[in-house]
Amino acid sequence: MKRKMIGAAAAYMSGLFFASFFISPGGLCMLLAAVIGLSLAIKKRLISSGDIIMLAVAFTIAVGVITFVDNRSSQKVKQLSGAECGFSGEITDISRYSGKYASYVLKGRAEGVNVKVSFYTSDLHGSYGDIITIDSCTLKPPENSAVFNYVNWQKSRHIFLEITSAKGITLERRCARPLKNALADLRDKTSQRFCDTLGTEAGGFLSGMVFGKKGGIDDSDRLSLYRSGIGHILAVSGLHVSIVAGLLMWIMRIAGAGRTVSFLAADLLMLMLIALANYPVSALRAAIMMNLIFGAWLFRRIPDRLTSLAAAALIICLCDPYAVYNAGFMLSLSGTFGIAVFAPFMAGNIENRILSALAVGFWTMLAVMPVSILYFSEVSIISPLTNILLVPMCTAAMCAGLVSMLSMGYLDAVLYPAGLLIRAVLKITEKLSERQVFITGFDSKLRLTAVCLGGAVVLVYLFTKSRKAVFCTITAAAIAFCTCSQMHMIRIRRDFSVAVTGDERKCAAVMICGNSTIVADLSGNRKAADFAADHLAQAGITDVDMVILTRNVNSQLAVYKQAFSGIRTGIWVEYGFVSGKTFKSGNISVTVSDSELTVSCGGEEITFTTDKKGAVTVKSSGTVIENAPGNCLIPGSDGTLTIRRL
């Protein structure tokens, strides 16, 4: 039964990935892993002909389900993309931001088609169930940003269209979702009470841990947490669910409650926590898995963690095939596999608790690393240590926040020690982030390499159960990946190159020659900083010698300093487009003149020309122009290149 559940889950998720990405690297990797695993199992006679039929059926069903859902969704997008029409829909989700803005998810009809859309606008102070009516608007598909795969994130929420150019907006209050609105009010009031008691910084962090709300956390603090390897504490996930359920089960056991009562009480508390966090998929996975494990305990059976994990993944993907697009879900699966299955197997029987905890943290980090590289440009290398030292502090603060919330504010005294712990964690992570304790520099090929190597390790683990074989595979995979990463870095720094990031109106240039790096903002658009920072991260560059700002200098200075918060920056040049200024770093020379910026190095010369509207064109005397990821340089008849964002 265990083998069949794991096999069905693997086949179904492989089918989802393959059909979702079709012939893309992600889909082919999952299909290749499934084929190799099945071949090994057949060769070792681990499965019967009935098992093979079951796997084939599971894979076929997955492909059929996701293909059907994709086709239905793509038809709606094709029919409505670019349509100018009116729209009326019910509010199903709300995200509020600073500056009195909000993003609403609306479920309604446009041009006679039922569709779910996102709508970013000034905060209308709407509630769940209210109706927003728009007299005229334009519908368009979402687009990826410089540093975030926005399309896949929206797809995981079943959103394929966005509302733009909205006119004639009205809100009709209906009070149709009383329970959901009550939970949202409790979440907002509790978060505000945290901030009033502890201050904005510590209160926002506590709200992030308790409710998964990251809007109140400063960007630099969030970056420090992720670079220190404990950013997962901001997502309501398996850690939160297991802590809450475990504490309640322990209290119920002390109180002498029976198994059934304890199980039901833990289930009720888990559901409340998930509802307060607005049903994150990682927490749902944890709740399903905890129910399976507690159910085995209730009926006096021995639970199997790998089978429970496979069953939880299968249930979620059967209900929502687009869950495979959710980074939180994939990280949750890999992290749970690491901490519950892979790490105990590799750590063995280490008697010393400290050494055992370090070993479990290390192997869990390795289990999560391929998926982290797939979704992010940076990976912390000290996460085992920080998880051991800092997560208990965060857990204690989170428990204090839960006590404050459940007591409706009557026990707010517990927040003061929680505030001390949070400030200590933020201070430590800030210092660690400054020490560059993270790995960076993963382009698309390196990410694909990491996923393939990680899949090879998992297959060796599943089909050999040999600690020695797995250790040798991990060692070989690490050597191969480090070699590829170093070759990537050497290639980038070997010759003079200029990467054009963004598009013609949101453009920045990243110039690299040896150990010298210069970034020049060309268009004065706020998005240009994000494009440049993303390219530097993928190139593995954490030191920039000079940043040249040419337009909207005062506002761009603040934007770039925020975007470059994790990058050591030398000189900030704020001259703008003035005549005859030349700046040098190493062999790179940059001359700024009226509406032009000329870069030269080793006989190569590139000229960027900006018109009055901020559109940038490029002219090169050589072949050193590089396309940043997601860009396209379109040649013109006059020898210039126009930048487009794909």
Q: What is the mean pLDDT of residues 630-638?
A: 50
What is the percent of the chain where pLDDT is above 70? 79
Instruction: Verify that 597 and 554 share a domain, yes or no.
Output: yes
| Contact assessment for residue 539 and residue 504, using Cβ atoms and an 8 Å cutoff | no
Does 179 or 623 have the greater pLDDT score? 179
Residue 351 included in any domain: no
What is the percent of the chain where pLDDT is above 90? 4
Which domain-ending residue is among 299, 323, 347? Answer: 323
Q: Which domain holds residue 526?
A: 495-645
Residue 205 included in any domain: yes
Residue 334 included in any domain: no
Which domain-ending residue is among 17, 49, 77? Answer: 77
Does 372 or 145 have the greater pLDDT score? 372
Instruction: Verify that 288 and 171 share a domain, yes or no.
Output: no
* pLDDT for the residue numbered 521: 83
* pLDDT for the residue numbered 32: 55
Instruction: Verify that 98 and 211 share a domain, yes or no.
Output: no
At a CB cut-off of 8 Å and minimum separation 6, what does 128 contact?
A: 91, 92, 93, 94, 176, 177, 180, 181, 184
Please give the Cα distance from 519 to 511 (Å, whole number).
Answer: 6
Instruction: Verify that 289 and 212 share a domain, yes or no.
Output: no
Which domain-ending residue is among 323, 350, 373? Answer: 323
Please give the Cα distance from 532 to 554 (Å, whole number).
Answer: 18
The pLDDT tens digits for 218-233 are: 767 777 787 777 777 7
Q: Which residue has the tokens 């920056």?
A: 569
Residue 424 included in any domain: yes
* pLDDT for the residue numbered 31: 57
Instruction: Verify that 499 and 640 share a domain, yes or no.
Output: yes
Give the CATH number for residue 123: 2.40.50.140
The pLDDT tens digits for 82-130 are: 888 889 999 998 887 766 788 899 998 887 788 889 998 888 888 899 9
Parallel, antiparallel, or unpaired for β 543-549 and 516-521? Answer: parallel
Residue 336 included in any domain: no
Parallel, antiparallel, or unpaired for β 113-122 and 161-172? Answer: parallel
* pLDDT for the residue numbered 37: 57
Does the structure show a pLDDT above 90 at 568?
no
Q: What are phi and psi of 517, to 5 degrees?
A: -140, 130
* pLDDT for the residue numbered 635: 52
Does the structure show a pLDDT above 80 at 545?
yes
The band of 632, judged by pLDDT with boundaries at 50, 70 and 90, is very low
Instruction: Verify that 202 and 248 share a domain, yes or no.
Output: no
The band of 614, judged by pLDDT with boundaries at 50, 70 and 90, is low
Instruction: Verify that 58 and 146 share a domain, yes or no.
Output: no
Please give the Cα distance from 129 to 235 (Å, whole number).
Answer: 26
The band of 15, judged by pLDDT with boundaries at 50, 70 and 90, is low
* pLDDT for the residue numbered 44: 58
For residue 277, give both structure tokens: 């966090």
Does the structure show a pLDDT above 90 at 58?
no
The pLDDT tens digits for 124-135 are: 888 899 999 998
Q: Quote the mean pLDDT of the chain.
A: 77
Instruction: Verify that 189 and 290 share a domain, yes or no.
Output: no
- Measure CA 252 to chain center: 36
Instruction: Verify that 619 and 500 share a domain, yes or no.
Output: yes
For the packed helices 2-21 and 305-319, what is the interaxial angle rounded to 10 degrees? 40
Residue 596, beta-bridge partner list: 593, 609
Instruction: Verify that 510 and 404 share a domain, yes or no.
Output: no
Number of domains in the chain: 5
Does the structure show a pLDDT above 90 at 593?
no
> Can you spell out the DSSP letters for 166-189?
EEEEEEE-----HHHHHHHHHHHH
Instruction: Verify that 154 and 256 share a domain, yes or no.
Output: no
Residue 224 included in any domain: yes
Please give the Cα distance from 464 to 469 (Å, whole number).
Answer: 7
The band of 382, judged by pLDDT with boundaries at 50, 70 and 90, is confident
The pLDDT tens digits for 450-501 are: 777 877 787 787 777 788 888 888 888 888 887 877 777 777 666 677 777 7
* pLDDT for the residue numbered 645: 47
Residue 533 included in any domain: yes
Residue 466 neighbours by CB distance under 10 Å = 12
* pLDDT for the residue numbered 442: 67
The pLDDT tens digits for 269-302 are: 888 888 877 888 888 888 888 888 887 777 777 7
Residue 472 included in any domain: no
Does the structure show a pLDDT above 70 at 62?
yes
Identify the helix (H) or strand (E) that includes residue 499. Answer: strand 497-503
Q: Which amino acid is at 229?
A: G
* pLDDT for the residue numbered 504: 64
Q: What is the mean pLDDT of residues 493-514?
A: 75
* pLDDT for the residue numbered 271: 82
Burial of 626 (0-12, 13-18, 19+ CB in 10 A): middle
Instruction: Verify that 63 and 86 share a domain, yes or no.
Output: no
